Structure 1
Amino acid sequence: MTSQETAPPRKVPGNGAVSSRLSGIDAARGAALLGMMSTHLLPTFGPSPQWEPTFVGLVFSGRSAALFAVLAGIGLALSTGKQEPKSGMELWAARGGVAMRALVIAVVGLTLGGLDVNVAVILVHYAVLFLCILPFLGLRLRALCLWSLGWVLVSPVLASLVRPLLLDANPPLQLGHNPNSDDLGTPGRLLADLFFTGYYPVFQWISYLLIGLVIGRLALTTAKVQVLLLVCGTAVATVAKIVGILAMEAWGGRAALEALPATRGYPLDSMLQVNLTGLQQVDSWWWLATAAPHAGTTLDLLHTGGVAAGVVGLFLMLGTLAERIKINFLMVLSGPGAMTLTLYSAHVWVVSGFTNQPLPAGWTDEGMYWTQALAAVAIGVCFALLRRRGPLEWVAHTASKLGSYRPAAVG
């Protein structure tokens, strides 16, 4: 949720143009923020009884959150050596900085989790992901490719074996709400929810950070890599989605899932297009054949990870164009993208004020979204122009510096 490179975006000496790498990465992060906000404030399903997927549900559900996670991996790669990973004491110092940054994000997430808000807050999961990825920060590109592919293929299968055992416990090891400080008193239940039974299962989501590390170890400022990300990411996402649709509609998957007692009464056709929230995905291996957002399956990880790679490639290309024409048209996204921890937290806090409360007279969901989105853009652009970090970004950056500090050797 925070920029791992340098924030605010730095300028290239001599011409004042914003670095294409930083502006492109931050712009992608800003797009992810606005996309996630849209799924919080705008309907993802139409009214009953049809429950038709909306444009927001079809386009942004699952993909925006996955883009955040992939960008986290990219940021970690950029802060730990870019194409050449750090090693030795430098690597351990970098890991200490990441761990301290994760601590700040976790505290913010637990605080937001105490609010009465109809938003699945990602920050605690995000912080745990940072800690889980620490052992991989020193790996080179080839090893990272193997690990990311293996995790995408194997983690959903292992999760499908573990999840039923946790849900069958008495009481079930699932929170049913955002993690908050009270849950620290039941660590077993909290960890089970974070890793397997919750909205953002960390065990499978490690895949996104590994994919991000792979991308971040590439030469992101070169046109070849940017085009490769766009083309290959789009191809992987398309093939994964097509296979998922065939599995459900042509090969009998949806019929098998609709026959399960746990899916009766749910609009499964629409949910397979938008997300599977509310369904426990047990009692059938067919769940592993879906490419539905938030399914946590191999096809879902490939599709959303591919979309994320394609989006990153596109924004890196736009960043290169902005640098060449010396017009930073990406600032409307890179500005808020450089301070997403602050803006996301403020968004959740504002939404909590309207939870279970009627909107002010004359307001609509669309009006609420555009007001918050434009406010996020305006605030982000102002901070970028002033070359200042966001408040929470400053705290996370300071904690990271403290965590990575190593006293100079004496003698």
Structure 2
Amino acid sequence: MTSRATARPSRAPRPSSPASRLRGIDAARGLALLGMMATHLLPTFEANADLTPTWIGLTFSGRSAALFAVLAGVGLALSTGKQVPPEGAALTAARRGVALRALVIAAVGLSLGGLEVNVAIILVHYALLFLCVLPFLGLRLKVLCAWAVGWILLSPVLAYLLRPWLMAATPPLHLGRNPSWEDLSTPLPLLGDLFLTGYYPVFQWLAYLLVGLVIGRLALTTVLVPILLLTVGTAVAALAKALGTAAMESWGGRAALVQVLNAPDYPLDSVLRVNLTGIRQEGSWWWLASAAPHSATTLDLAHTSGVAAAVVGACLLLGRLADWLDLDLLLPLRAAGAMTLTLYSAHVWVVSGFYLKPLPAGWTEDGMYFAHAATAITVGIVFVLLKRRGPLEWLGHAANQRGRSGRIGPG
């Protein structure tokens, strides 16, 4: 007679498989997508004279896009050797593949840039980040950590020194809009905007991909690493935000910045909590002491990197819990996260259809957001169940494979 112990499978926790690790990463990517959709469709400030921040602005502004960028670095690490970076011919092949994939993403971003839409489209900056991180793909973990910390500490200072020079050029090296195909004819303003003066300054944002590479080179299948990501990430995020708040409120930073702020339509108290985009951070070194979203200062980069690490850790732990329960708890998030390029692009295209137009009768901003989120999750689940990549993901994968094989030309 078969014993009860052998007749039923054990419910003891088992090590997370590579597939479940990837499900956790995809789930984090899905969270980033839904957070970015929220900042696009829901107000981040109240419609009053003081621009009072909404909970959407306080929660998602700056953090969702940063999570998206950090996960790009994680994905690159996982696709190029995981814990062991590639060397020699393998490294050259990996760099070719990433470069061709970046060109696909850039083409999509430049095409979307021609739309009239009140969304800061990240894709061209995202593609350029892929190209800028190529020299770092072969570095070992300790060296990567040093580069990531150094970039977080120093790049905001260099950017602060360079931005006024770029803005003083005639014309200023700044687009003030999403980059599109036509901007290729004026490369200097385009590159100035992409690297330093635009919404997602690549020069400082490279820190996010370096942090992502560090995370991706860790032993993510062990239980200790996700716990460390969650705890250390939370601690770093909290400390950076606390220092930024103290610098502004207790050490004289906000009083000093009020004296140099030349944007009366942007109340400093509100924008420091939600979004510094559109404000020229110059005239006072106190700008570098802020932890404001989209300020790209050291404290902002540290805070949002910490948040991203904590989210990745939490999602990996949820993936392990799902394994233990034999339930796919992360399916809605990971399904959307597995095809973010397609879903993000479709989302931007749909939003452009309502630019400067009232919402359809009976629709609210909340309803529009939930429609976008539900559609993204539903479409993602369908593709997961069919075991298919999204259309743009397939194109990016094909470009990556072509680059790795060395067959760049047709045929």
Instruction: Give the Cα separation in 1 of the matches to 2:158 and 2:76.
Output: 26
Provide, for residues 48-94 of structure 1, a one-character-per-residue CA deviation record: whole Å limited to 9, x for no partner. 11311101000000000000000000000011101011100011001
Judge conservation of contact 1:199–1:294 (CA < 8 Å) in 2.
yes
Instruction: Give the Cα separation in 2 of the matches to 1:281 and 1:30.
Output: 32
Instruction: Give the Cα separation in 2 of the matches to 1:272 and 1:362.
Output: 34
Q: Quick check: 1:112 aligned with 2:96?
A: no
Judge conservation of contact 2:18–2:221 (CA < 8 Å) in 1.
no
Aligned length: 393
Paired amino acid for 1:220: L
Partner of 1:199: 199
Instruction: Give the Cα separation in 2 of the matches to 1:370 and 1:53.
Output: 21
Give runs of aligned pairs for residues 243-254 of structure 1, distance below 5 A. Answer: 243-254=243-254
Partner of 1:11: none
How far residue 223 of structure 1 moved from its aligned partner, in angstroms, is 0.8
Give runs of aligned pairs for residues 134-149 of structure 1, distance below 5 A. Answer: 134-149=134-149
Q: Quick check: 1:40 aligned with 2:40?
A: yes
Q: Quick check: 1:69 aligned with 2:69?
A: yes
Partner of 1:331: 331
Paired amino acid for 2:374: L
How far residue 261 of structure 1 moved from its aligned partner, in angstroms, is 4.6
Instruction: Give the Cα separation in 2 of the matches to 1:62 and 1:208.
Output: 12
Instruction: Give the Cα separation in 1 of the matches to 2:277 and 2:89.
Output: 43
Partner of 2:353: 353
Judge conservation of contact 1:281–1:287 (CA < 8 Å) in 2.
yes
Instruction: Give the Cα separation in 1 of the matches to 2:216 and 2:400.
Output: 19
Paired amino acid for 1:217: R
Superposed CA RMSD in Å reads: 1.3
Instruction: Give the Cα separation in 2 of the matches to 1:38 and 1:84.
Output: 37
Provide, for residues 301-340 of structure 1, a one-character-per-residue CA deviation record: whole Å limited to 9, x for no partner. 0000000000000000001111121111101000010000
Give runs of aligned pairs for residues 9-408 of structure 1, distance below 5 A. Answer: 19-406=19-406
> What secondary structure sits across from 1:145 in the alignment?
helix
Paired amino acid for 1:74: V
Paired amino acid for 2:145: C
Q: Which segments of 5 or more consecutive residues in structure 1 lack a partner in the other structure?
A: 1-16
Provide, for residues 173-222 of structure 1, a one-character-per-residue CA deviation record: whole Å limited to 9, x for no partner. 10011000000000011000000000000000000000000000000011
Identity %: 66
Partner of 1:6: none
Partner of 2:6: none
Judge conservation of contact 1:233–1:306 (CA < 8 Å) in 2.
yes
Partner of 2:9: none
Q: Could you say if the C-alpha distance between residues 52 and 130 of structure 1 is closer, same or farther in structure 2, counting changes exceeding 3 Å?
A: same
If the length of structure 2 is used for normalisation, what is the TM-score? 0.94
Judge conservation of contact 2:42–2:56 (CA < 8 Å) in 1.
yes
Structure of higher CA gyration radius: 2
> What secondary structure sits across from 1:360 in the alignment?
coil
Instruction: Give the Cα separation in 2 of the matches to 1:365 and 1:20.
Output: 35
Paired amino acid for 2:121: V
Provide, for residues 257-277 of structure 1, a one-character-per-residue CA deviation record: whole Å limited to 9, x for no partner. 111151434211010000101
> What secondary structure sits across from 1:404 in the alignment?
helix
Q: Could you say if the C-alpha distance between residues 208 and 268 of structure 1 is closer, same or farther in structure 2, counting changes exceeding 3 Å?
A: same
Provide, for residues 219-254 of structure 1, a one-character-per-residue CA deviation record: whole Å limited to 9, x for no partner. 001110010000000000000000000000001111
Paired amino acid for 1:373: A
Provide, for residues 12-66 of structure 1, a one-character-per-residue CA deviation record: whole Å limited to 9, x for no partner. xxxxx88221110000000000000000000000111131110100000000000
Instruction: Give the Cα separation in 1 of the matches to 2:77 and 2:328.
Output: 25
Paired amino acid for 2:142: R
Q: Which segments of 5 or more consecutive residues in structure 2 lack a partner in the other structure?
A: 1-16
If the length of structure 1 is used for normalisation, what is the TM-score? 0.94
Question: After TM superposition, what 4+ stretches of structure 1 lie above 6 angstroms from structure 2?
Answer: none
How far residue 146 of structure 1 moved from its aligned partner, in angstroms, is 0.3
Paired amino acid for 1:197: T
Instruction: Give the Cα separation in 2 of the matches to 1:49 and 1:117.
Output: 24
